[in-house]
Amino acid sequence: MEENLNTIELNEMKQQISLLRRKLEKETIVNEKLIRASMQDKLKALKRRSYIECVVGIAAAVLWKFGISSDFNPLFIDFTAFFLFFAVAYEVYSNRMLSAQNYIEGNLVEEARKLNHYKKLARQWYWFSIPIVCIWFCWYLYESYTVHAEQGRFLFIWGLIGGTIGGVIGWNIYRKGRKAINEVIEQIEELTGEKE
């Protein structure tokens, strides 16, 4: 009798454990889907911001090439437009690594590799572009002060203000993008248990 009672209790405990396991599996699946959706949303926001940067870059290049006063040195205008188009092309090239569609069902380890490559490309761009922008900025200040003698001081001051504001905005965009990428990589590492 006691043995029969123990068997019944053991079977009930097995059923409860089985039910608990099913609930945990469902919860894990739901949590994984939520994490994947969160990763996808972060990357969509990053891509959206990147598209806006590309539109602004193209508009600025066209404005410099066709809308700026002809008093500036044509070489300066052409260099500025070329650099802006090059920046847009590099951004488009880098964005190939940000495929937000693959995060719901795709291979997360491969996506983590792509994100690390994207981070590397972004870092390389900053090491390349910051010295060029500094040189361009000095060239702009020289052009504005020498070409527009009567307006030189005005252009010089507004160039410094605009350059400072642009630098702060650019740094914040870069920092927020890196933070989002790092968060997605950490989430991938949590889900897959693999470190890059």
Residue-wise pLDDT for 75-113, tens only, equals 988 998 999 999 999 988 888 877 756 655 667 777 778
**144: containing domain:** 2-192
pLDDT at res. 4: 63
State the total domains in the chain: 1
pLDDT at res. 82: 93
Which of the given ranges, 11-25, 100-114, 129-143, has the highest pLDDT on average? 129-143
pTM, entire model: 0.71
Give Cα separations from 150 to 18, 154, 156 (angstroms): 84, 8, 11
Percent of the chain with pLDDT over 70: 72
pLDDT at res. 83: 93
pLDDT at res. 131: 92
Mean local confidence (pLDDT), 172-191: 82
Q: Tell me the two tokens of residue 162.
A: 């605009």
Tell me the C-alpha distance between 46 and 68, whole Å: 31
Lowest mean pLDDT among 113-117, 172-176, 192-196: 192-196
pLDDT at res. 22: 66
pLDDT at res. 144: 78
pLDDT at res. 19: 63
Question: Is the separation of the CB atoms in 139 and 76 below 8 Å?
Answer: yes
* 132 pLDDT more than 90: yes
Q: Is 193 left (phi over 0), alpha (psi -120 to 50) or beta?
A: left
Q: Which amino acid is at 88?
A: V
